Amino acid sequence: MFRLARILPLLLVVSLLGCKKKADEGYRPDALRLSSDRMTPEVLWSFGRISNVQLSPDKSQILFGITNYNIERNKGFRDLYILPVAGGTYKEITNTAVNEAGEVWRPDGKKIGFLSRESGSMQLWEINPDGTGKWQVSEIEGDISGFNYSPDMKHVAFIKEVKVKSGLNEKYPDLTKANARTYDDLMYRHWDEWVETFTHIFIATIKKGKLAEIVDIMEGQPWESPLKPNGGMEQITWSPDGSKVVYTCRKKQGKEYAVSTNSDLYQYDLVSGATINLTDGMMGYDINPAFSPDGRYLAWESMERDGYEADKNRLFILDLQNGTRIDATAQFDQNVQALAWTDDNKSIYFISDFQANDEIYRYNIESRDLTKITTGIQDYSLVLPAGNHLIAVRKSMSKPDEIYRVDPSTGEAAELSFVNKPLLDQLAMGRVESRWVNTTDQKQMKVWVIYPPGFDASKKYPAILYCGGGPQNTVSQFWSYRWNFQMMAARGYIVVAPNRRGLPGFGQEWLEQISGDYGGQNMQDYLSAIDSISNEPYIDKNRLGAVGASYGGFSVFWLAGHHNGRFKAFIAHDGMFNLESSYLETEEMWFVNWDLGGAYWDSTNIIAQRSFANSPHRFVNKWDTPILVIHGEKDYRISYTEGMQAFNAARLKNIPARLLLFPEENHWVLSAQNGILWQREFFGWLDKYLE
């Protein structure tokens, strides 16, 4: 079996030919010369990462950022770039020792606003589109974490952390060396932080190029906007006349916050200072508001049911003239995201997953028709109307994000950015194939199969079953810097990635089946996938592994007690092992209440009792296969003690096991060297037990 990185993990030998002008910066893909055409962890972390793509007001230029990582320094460095919509070479407009972030075109198109630590704290700066004339706009206490301009350029809305509750040190000022926290209610920690501050929205007046007359529109209130952990400035928008701000907020705290997903859209009037709830009575998530250019309509993403974070994501539209609200996608059995209005107010473009591909769609306001624009083996994540074309961001399992120009009449796309082309041209990628597999209940399930580069059907290959997370995250054409299928294929493994029960893109019935059925039909789907694909003569059934993170980690723990000898190696990252302990260790109680059916002590709740009866820890007596357990110690979503329990159980049963803990990582692995270490341990384990 060919294993490139087995000789030495760094044998890849990346040659840096003047790749950056400063020692502080990362490695540019166009300056790398590889010694092999196979993907390695070091190569994976050398791709340029495109983010925050935005169109200029006149639709002629694209603003975006590229992050390049310096592996030796264990840091990413981000600069800003301009690219013509018509095509051509992108131009760097910032090149500093600090990272620029949150870039936004000023409404007149003459300046670009961005955030920078060049003066110490994160402040708002402006720069000309050609990279000249840099100017610091804000000088406030603390860090700004996001902003946007009012359309009339008279104001700026920005967000920053504020402390609205006093701590023990304020209560007992004489105990200057005491260090403790106290809590009287739930939601005291979230994802990877102890909740001690809240993100508030501030409105500032622009006077002589500086921010002045700053007002906290949520002053003293113990809630945040945007929503943590993933919300950004897309959850806050200005009305076209600049007189109002609409923002997303869940105005709850403590236990009420922990058990509810009911966020609303609030409208703040700059003149009166009054705030009104635009979505009162709508009980699920209501997020990401977007005004039509003429100000008549407000569109947003909406879920119907409180407590269900994976409910259908609908396109809702409010007519501000008559107050009527419509569910524009009532007959559309798919989710919507990334809404974008056309300049003529007649259409909304959005992204939706259909059968494990994220494509571009258009909704017509007058006819209420939906049209699918693109088709292919790809994932679009952003769409921006630009005259007769669309500007979009696209990726696949074989290619990271790049910027494309799409013809809305044909769906044909032309790449514009080519940031990673010099690196991709040196790499051999494995073939990605779509298959449909019969499940145990006679359904058809889509399964991706990724083959090693240079695949030879006359040979025998080991195979990996990929167990997805979420549990309601689609296994689409995503590009990951950790769970990278092309990396696995480059090591000589065939990857089997099923879209089992519980994933979007195949209708709500398929998605919702998993809730209350952990360890049920979706696990049979996994076994159907690996059994079907491993029947191919080129797969060695004696060298099968199963890997996954989050719900995928739970899946691996569950399969370890039910696989009946199919697998020879397991890897579980950030997985739930003991559902009873996990229920009380997590923070977003709405998730476990919905997906598990309720509390384990409720003996009258049949759904909950079935869920907890299927907890992986109850089947450790059947474990017999080597397992690598990985966890981040700052993962407050699924506590690292879950991983410790699983590892301890395996070793007490004398099963070969390894526990890999990352003290500074959360539910993900985000730093360069930790990411590379993760890959080496991951493949070291598979290579050892699937050889």
Is 381 designated active site?
no
The rounded Cα 115 to chain-centroid distance in angstroms is 22
Phi, psi (deg, nearest 5) at residue 414: -125, 125
The contacts of residue 106 (CB under 8 Å, 6+ apart) are: 112, 113, 126, 149, 153
Q: For residue 564, is it left (φ>0), alpha (ψ between -120 and 50) or beta? A: left
Rounded CA separation 286/235 (Å): 10
Q: H or E stretch including 526?
A: helix 521-533
Rounded CA separation 552/471 (Å): 8
- Which ranges constitute the DSSP H helices of 140-187? 168-171
Rounded CA separation 461/210 (Å): 63
- Is 263 in contact with 273 (CB distance < 8 Å)? no
Take residue 575 and report the two structure tokens written for it.
Answer: 């997985």
Strands 461-467, 494-498: parallel, antiparallel or unpaired by DSSP? parallel
Q: Which residue of the set 225, 417, 534, 550 is catalytic?
A: 550
- Is 316 in contact with 302 (CB distance < 8 Å)? yes
- Choose among 472, 534, 476, 531: nearest CA to 503: 472
Rounded CA separation 462/540 (Å): 5
Q: Which residue of the set 286, 401, 635, 687 is catalytic?
A: 635
- Is 158 in contact with 214 (CB distance < 8 Å)? no
Residue 579, SS3 per DSSP: helix
Take residue 69 and report the two structure tokens written for it.
Answer: 């990582």
- Number of residues in the chain: 691
Rounded CA separation 533/555 (Å): 19
Is 344 designated active site?
no
Q: Which residue of the set 417, 617, 667, 687 is catalytic?
A: 667
Rounded CA separation 503/529 (Å): 15
Is 550 designated active site?
yes
Active-site annotation, residues: 550, 635, 667
